Chain A
């Protein structure tokens, strides 16, 4: 006789199984004494867990909440299409600026390799390169943090005793990228970014160095480290912060025009 697992019985208790399967499990629990015992105990425990009664809040509660938050209301984000347009414009302007700078520097060294470069244009170029580099760094790190958050969430929710080799491979890719971004962040003076990336690397290395068939204890260990470092929280907060900075960054177009005119 095929017995049902605890997971099957939990889903059955909550009515997550449907149709034929639900009927099969009901029938089996009726006929099988050991599954019936497990199910009875499970249902008994879950029925003990009544919804905690929230302290009463009066009719005026909404108004009280409003009074508390009204002075702290943030600036609303622009609608998505505005953000997209803005990001898109910035990306295009940044890319054009970078191309112009590269062309400019290449042109200088190509036409006059023996002479030192004149002072003014490279100074402008260096500023633009630095702005562009910063912006590219922000965008790349934001994407990197999103990918890392997905892996960490998967690890936090991996089944005990399961195979995490896929997550380990993804973590390996991320660790090497993370190191590069961290160095870039240090050079750009972004200490807080570098610090979160360092925490992230440490925890990703823990994931990589765990056995791919993790025991419940191993997995709990990794999860507790991630929890203790508030890593998911930090990654989310930093991701949000960088997105905000990307949105509020000034467009690079005026610099690009200046350089274009100097080149031509």
Chain B
């Protein structure tokens, strides 16, 4: 199996687009899942997947055959997501405080218990709004740490940051999320 993948990769690196097609078919769903977690938006995730494969194709010459293609693609998807979040952020006039206030002001349904509350759409909306209040790098670092289970060292490698910067991105993200989610945890 490994030899087969290596052969496909070698052909793709020589510009064989059909070999690249095999890689696209194999890795698209994983790429989409990561892009969706990073961007929180289906349409944006689709754009990120396509951009990532186009970028990967252009840069196949830089890919070291000893490395794992999936790992390399993961890094490209993460960085394309950060670029998209930055572009999106500059396009839109984000008013995070208003977003959060609007969600916080909605009265809770009929005082559901914690388990039900944790799974409710209201919580999901609140969380989505809190996540959109993070900067692109904070969101990327948090997604990789919290949802993808990547270590700080892996995050710094993926996002091209030094370890301290990666760590502080996660810290800032967690602090902001704690503050934003305090109302639904019954804190002041």
Contact = CB atoms under 8 A, between A and B. Distances in A.
Contact of A69 (B24, B136, B171): B24
A70 B21 contact: yes
B115 to A, nearest CB: 12
Contacts of A48: 118, 123, 127, 181, 184-185
B33 interface: yes
Nearest to B89: A227
Contacts of B165: 153-154, 157
A189 to B, nearest CB: 27
A52 B57 contact: no
Contact of B177 (A45, A77, A159, A227): A45
A6 B127 CA distance: 21
A45 B61 contact: no
Interface stretch (A55-63, A176-184, A206-214): A55-63
Interface stretch (A112-120, A137-145, A230-238): A230-238
Interface of A: 6-7, 10-11, 14, 16, 41-42, 44-46, 48-52, 54-55, 57, 61-66, 68-70, 72-80, 82-83, 153-154, 156-160, 223, 227-230, 232-233, 236
B151 interface: yes
Given A62-B27, A229-B90, 4 more contacts: A45-B177, A46-B146, A51-B147, A76-B59
17 contacts: A7-B171, A10-B170, A11-B167, A42-B174, A49-B146, A50-B118, A52-B36, A52-B147, A54-B32, A54-B45, A61-B32, A65-B25, A66-B28, A77-B62, A157-B169, A232-B86, A233-B87
A153 B79 CA distance: 13
Interface of B: 13, 15, 17, 20-21, 24-29, 32-33, 36-37, 40, 42, 45, 49-50, 53-54, 57-62, 83, 86-87, 89-90, 118, 123-124, 127-128, 135-137, 145-147, 151-152, 160-161, 164-172, 174-175, 177-178, 181-182, 184-185, 187
A60 to B, nearest CB: 9
Given A65-B49, A73-B54, A227-B90, A44 B33 contact: no
A68 B50 contact: yes
Contacts of A153: 137, 160-161, 165
Secondary structure at chain A's binding surface: helix, strand, loop or mixed? helix
Given A49-B127, A78-B61, A156-B135, A233 B17 contact: no
A151 to B, nearest CB: 12
Given A66-B24, A157-B161, A230 B54 contact: no
B164 to A, nearest CB: 8
Nearest to B137: A156
Contacts of A157: 137, 161, 164-166, 168-169
Contacts of A159: 168, 171
B17 A160 contact: no
A65 B24 CA distance: 7
Contacts of B137: 153, 156-157
A216 to B, nearest CB: 9
Contacts of B147: 51-52
A154 B185 CA distance: 33
A230 B89 CA distance: 8
Contacts of B37: 51-52, 54
A250 B26 CA distance: 38
Contacts of B89: 227
Contact of A76 (B60, B164, B182): B60
A153 B156 CA distance: 12
Contacts of B182: 45
The 7 residue pairs across chains A and B that have the minimum distance between CB atoms:
A62-B25, A157-B165, A54-B36, A62-B28, A230-B90, A79-B61, A51-B147
A55 B36 contact: yes
A162 to B, nearest CB: 9
Nearest to B90: A230
A259 to B, nearest CB: 34
B22 to A, nearest CB: 9
A227 B86 contact: yes
A153 B136 CA distance: 12
